């Protein structure tokens, strides 16, 4: 039986920066960690108000979010959203972002500052690809055609490799199974390889379909912020110590 490791967690602290950046004492750490989880779940699972039944019943209020980063200071909680559709999150004259900020302040009881960043190349972000595949499966598009289309778009956008795996009652089958497609190179154990990982669950009539996406975005460069931070944290290689016999 294989031992699975999340490629993002595998590189965190070495090539990737942490998604939550703050320090707390031992007695407050658990409470703040749970609070971070509540913030992420609230943003990712919040349904749009006024939706009826049918295909739009589960429409998210804050869609196309690639990742959520949280920073804490003594005075406030800074929530940074990376999205492929920043205009949808901001809303008209920033109204939607202000509503989100007020909701998070009521949820946490702290002052919250929401910042929205745009994702320049959404076709190379694994989380966005997984959510897009889930939306198409909900609309009853064939799963093989959906996988092939997503892989072609990622490779055309400049990906070095991509792997997509779907698990569940695919095509309405009685027995659940896994379907996997790979194109290009996916070196999961190579730390210098920039592997992005995304997971999403599609809720269809036959049950839940688990969607996993791995994308090889190339190698970390010296100019990359996270790679540069990791390089500076390494111990310098001085001259080897000579021993006399």
Give this prediction's pTM.
0.83
- The arrangement of strands across the sheet holding 177-184 comes to 177-184, 161-168, 207-219, 193-204
pLDDT digit string (tens) for 146-201? Answer: 999 999 999 999 999 999 999 999 988 999 999 999 999 999 989 999 999 999 99
DSSP 41-95: HHHHHPBPTT--SSTTTT-BSS--EEEEEEEE-SS-EEEEEEES-HHHHH-GGGH
pLDDT grade, residue 63 (50/70/90)? Answer: confident
Contact 184, 159 (CB under 8 A): yes
């Amino acid at each position: 039986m294989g031992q699975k490791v999340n490629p993002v967690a595998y590189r965190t602290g070495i090539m990737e920066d942490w998604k939550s950046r703050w320090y707390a004492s031992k007695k407050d750490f658990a409470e703040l960690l749970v609070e971070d989880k509540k913030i992420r779940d609230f943003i990712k699972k919040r349904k749009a108000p006024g939706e009826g039944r049918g295909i739009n019943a589960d429409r998210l209020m804050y869609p196309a979010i690639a990742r959520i980063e949280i920073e804490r200071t003594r005075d406030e909680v800074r929530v940074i959203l990376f999205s492929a559709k920043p205009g949808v999150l901001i809303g008209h004259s920033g109204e939607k972002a202000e509503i989100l900020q007020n909701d998070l302040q009521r949820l946490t009881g702290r002052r919250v500052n929401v910042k929205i960043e745009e994702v320049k190349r959404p076709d190379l972000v694994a989380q966005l690809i997984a959510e897009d595949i889930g939306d198409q499966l909900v609309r009853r598009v064939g799963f093989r055609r959906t996988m092939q289309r997503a892989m072609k778009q990622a490779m055309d956008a400049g990906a070095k490799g991509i792997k997509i795996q779907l698990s569940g009652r695919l095509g309405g089958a009685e027995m659940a199974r896994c379907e996997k497609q790979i194109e290009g190179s996916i070196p999961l154990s190579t730390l210098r390889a920039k592997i992005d990982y995304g997971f999403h669950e599609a809720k269809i009539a036959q049950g839940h379909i688990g969607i996993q996406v791995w994308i090889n975005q190339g190698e970390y460069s010296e100019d990359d912020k996270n790679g540069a931070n990791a390089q500076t944290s390494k111990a310098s290689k001085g001259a080897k110590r000579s021993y006399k016999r």
